Structure 1
Amino acid sequence: MSNAVVNGLAGAGGGIIAQIITYPLQSVNTRQQTERIAKKSRSQGSSGGTLVQLIEVIRTEGIGGLYSGLKPSLLGTAASQGIYYYFYQVFKNKAESIAASNKRKGRGDGTVGMFSWLVVAALAGALNVLFTNPIWVLVTRMQTHTQAEQKILEAKKEALLRECSESSLIGTSLHDKLREIDSVKPNPYGTLHAAYEVYNEAGIRGFWKGIVPTLIMVCNPSIQFMIYETSLKYLKSKRADKKQSSSKVTALEVFVVGAIAKLGATVTTYPLLVVKSRLQAKQEISTSNSLRYSGTMDAIVKMIQYEGLSSFYKGMSTKIVQSVFAASVLFMIKEELVKFYGMLAKKSQKILLKISN
């Protein structure tokens, strides 16, 4: 099995475990990102901090509300991490081969430079986005479904109250209609339902909503892996300089380096993540046309105009905790799985040698 396939499978395994552990935070974070409150309405509310929102989701939707969209998300994570790490290793092997070739020709020291790491990660990220964007559109829809349904019901109540002020619908009749709206529960919303809805709204193109900011966001893993690979290289060279018996890094060091790398990448690219989530969510999540978007530039302009620059950083603290922890777990588990496969491969070679002798 090639090292690209091994890294792809290890990345998929690590990604699934990290996703399961941190999914409730991711689900709440998507709701924070897609919440739209105009400047003039901001005094009416924000839904509180992360812990408050976690409790509110459990109160209104049960524990299952925190795991809405988990199945397609796990599929997306496995596909995304598998594809990403496979192509990342393919391009990494090529970059290392070019660096070694350049050294033989008297150019460079044989190591891959920082810019090359950026290019390697960007190419792998772009291919990953093109293949997996439809899955993430469905995940975003499922995570924000209840939020959108609630906004639709709020709009119905506002329309009813306006109608009452202009007609004779008062008293018991009004209370009955309001009670009827309040009793409505969000419809069950599965993967096929979400896919059908996306297709009805925009056809096949709808599955690639948010592709522009998502493609731009390949700089996130590029920055992440640049920091990660550079930090690992520094740790290994430092140990080699001290002539330690092993230059290998420990699982804890990989965890810490992975956390630092993801923190730097997340802070840098978070505004694009918010724009992507808003484009992929139901536009009914806002009762105002001024907060509904037709495309990337329309979203950016309207967010600045109606909500201010702070809207690009909604839920960032939650995202930092979730993504940094998830990335750390992913890196640690992935590296351990790669080591485990290496051990199995060596043992199987020894057994085959014994049998052949």
Structure 2
Amino acid sequence: MSDALINGLSGAGGGIIAQLITYPLQMVNTRQQTERDTKKEKRKLGTIEQMCQVVKVEGWDRLYSGLTPSLVGTAASQGVYYYFYQIFRNKAEATAFDRKRKGFGDGSVGMFSSLVVAALSGCVNVLLTNPIWVVVTRMQTHKKKSQPHQTPYIASDEAILAAVEPPPYGTDHAIREVYDEAGVVGFWKGVLPTLIMVSNPSIQFMLYETLLKKLKERRALSKKSNNGVTALEIFLLGALAKLGATVVTYPLLVVKSRLQAKQVTSGDKRHHYKGTCDAIVKMIQYEGFYGFYKGMSTKIVQSVLAAAVLFMVKEELVKTTRWLLTKDAINTVR
């Protein structure tokens, strides 16, 4: 099994676990980002309050609306990203080694090269998986209306049938809705800000690799016999790296969510965006720069926790897989 495949599968596994743990926060954050109420005097609900309101009005299941396609998207995104990241990383390391043989550099991959590797991996990931995230956004932002309370009475069969709730808003409904609005092109809504947002994982991995390299160098210089990096340290490094990347790129994430959510084609034109530039202009005009940071505190908690769990689980899976493969190879030779 190639190193790229090991990293791809481990990344997918780590991403799924992180998604399961943090999904309710992600769902609420998407609603916060797509909230288009321009009345500043209206009190904004906090994250916990909003989660409680969703449970009260729409039921517990709404906190996990879109979970299935989200897990598919997470597995695909992390698998694709880590697979191509490792391929590009191997090429960068080979290039750095060749430069060292020729008398240039120390043979290590520099910060800029790490940034380019992460950016290329992110672009491939975005182009392949954007349709999945459009569907997830639709399902997360679809609101189930509460049923009015009625006094029990003996109803006819026709009345009972009329009172039956409509079928739940599922993946197939979201797919049809996107296709009816804009055809196949609709599944790539928000791809431009998402492509620009590859700077998020690029910055994240640049910070992570840099911090990890510094930590390993310090361990190598120390007199301790154990120079390895613990799972807790990986967790903290992943959290710090994601925090820095999220603060820088959050406005692009809000624009992407606005474009991928259901567009209001009638009524207030402030709620309808024709494209990335139109969305940015209208948000500045009607909501101010505050609109680009809606739900940021929720996102920081969710993304930092998810990234930290992902890095920790992914590294442990990579180590375990390599150990198992080495063990099997030794047993085969024997």
Compute the TM-score of the two structures, normalised by the length of structure 2: 0.92
1:91 aligns with 2:88: yes
Aligned to 1:180: none
CA distance in 2, matches of 1:278, 1:127: 22
- Alpha-carbon displacement from aligned partner over 1:194-250 (angstroms, at most 9, x marks no partner): 111101100110000000000000000000000000000000011111243233211
Q: Verify the 8 A CA contact 1:214 1:273 in the aligned structure 2.
A: yes
Which residue does the alignment assign to 1:106? 103
DSSP 3-state at the match of 2:143: helix
Q: Does the CA-based 8 Å contact 1:146-1:186 persist in structure 2? A: no
2:53 paired with 1:56: yes
Distance 1:105 1:300 in 2: 48
Residues 233-288 of structure 1, C-alpha deviation per residue, up to 9 Å, x if partnerless? Answer: 00001111124323321100000000000000000000000000000000139952
Amino acid at match of 2:109: V
Aligned residue for 1:226, secondary structure, equals helix
Counterpart CA distance in 2 for 1:249 and 1:284 is: 50
Q: Select 2:240's aligned residue among 260, 272, 279.
A: 260
Question: Deviations along 1:6-25, whole A, 9 cap, x unmatched?
Answer: 00000000000000000000
* CA–CA distance in structure 1, aligned partners of residues 63 and 278 of structure 2: 30
Q: 1:316 to 1:285 in 2, by over 3 A?
A: farther
**2:21 corresponds to:** 21
Distance across 2 between alignment mates of 1:56 and 1:297: 33
Letter of the structure 2 residue corresponding to residue 122 of structure 1: A
Work out the CA distance in 2 between the residues paired with 1:350 and 1:113. 35
**SS where residue 270 of structure 1 aligns?**
helix
Which of the two has greater helix per residue?
A: 1
Find the aligned partners of 2:202 and 2:247 in 1 and give their Cα distance. 13
Q: For 1:256, give the aligned amino acid.
A: L
**Cα–Cα, structure 1 residues 215 and 342, in superposed 2: closer, same or farther, change >3 Å?**
same
Cα distance between partner residues in 2 of 1:57 and 1:242? 52
Q: Look up the equivalent residue of 1:43 and give its one-letter code.
A: E
Match of 2:152 in 1: none
**For 1:103-252, what aligned pairs fall within 5 Å after superposition?**
103-146=100-143, 188-252=168-232
- 1:153 is matched with none
Relative to 1, partners in 2 of residues 1:69 and 1:285: Cα closer, same or farther, differing over 3 Å? farther
Of 256, 260, 271 in structure 2, the residue corresponding to residue 280 of structure 1 is 260
Report if the CA contact (8 A) 2:264-2:271 is conserved: no
Greater alpha carbon shift after TM alignment, 130-139 vs 185-194: 185-194
Larger C-alpha radius of gyration, 1 or 2? 1
Q: Deviating runs (4+, > 4 A) in structure 1?
A: 183-187
Tell me the CA shift for residue 2 of structure 1: 0.4
CA deviations 1:67-114 (Å, max 9, x no partner) are: 000000000000000000000000000101111110010000011000
Corresponding residue SS for 1:297: helix
Secondary structure of 2:106 counterpart: coil
Match of 2:264, SS?
helix
Structure 2's unaligned 5+ residue stretches are 147-162
Aligned to 1:37: 37
Contact 2:236-2:308 at 8 Å conserved across structures: yes
**SS at 2:240's partner residue?**
helix
* Superposed displacement of residue 185, structure 1: 6.3
- Aligned-partner Cα distance in 1 for 2:231–2:42: 47
Conserved? CA contact 2:27–2:140, under 8 Å: yes
Cα 1:276–1:186 change in 2 (3 A) is farther
Q: Flag the 1:128–1:288 CA change in 2: closer, same or farther, 3 A.
A: same
**Unaligned residue ranges in structure 1 (runs of 5+):** 151-182
Q: What letter is aligned with 1:279?
A: L
Paired with 1:88 and 1:272, the residues of 2 have a C-alpha distance of 22
Match of 2:65 among 62, 65, 68: 68
Q: Whole-Å Cα distance in 1 between the matches of residues 249 and 167 of structure 2?
A: 34
CA distance in 2, matches of 1:185, 1:30: 25
What is the identity percentage for the equivalent residue pairs of Structure 1 and Structure 2?
A: 67
Paired with 1:260 and 1:212, the residues of 2 have a C-alpha distance of 27
Task: Quote the Cα distance in structure 2 between the aligned partners of 1:252 and 1:285.
Answer: 49
Contact 1:68 1:142 in 2 (8 A): yes
* 1:11 counterpart letter in structure 2: G
- Aligned pair count reads 319
Instruction: Indicate the RMSD between aligned Cα atoms, in angstroms.
Output: 1.8
Distance 1:101 1:246, change over 3 A: farther
Q: Determine if the alignment matches structure 1 residue 347 to structure 2 residue 327.
A: yes
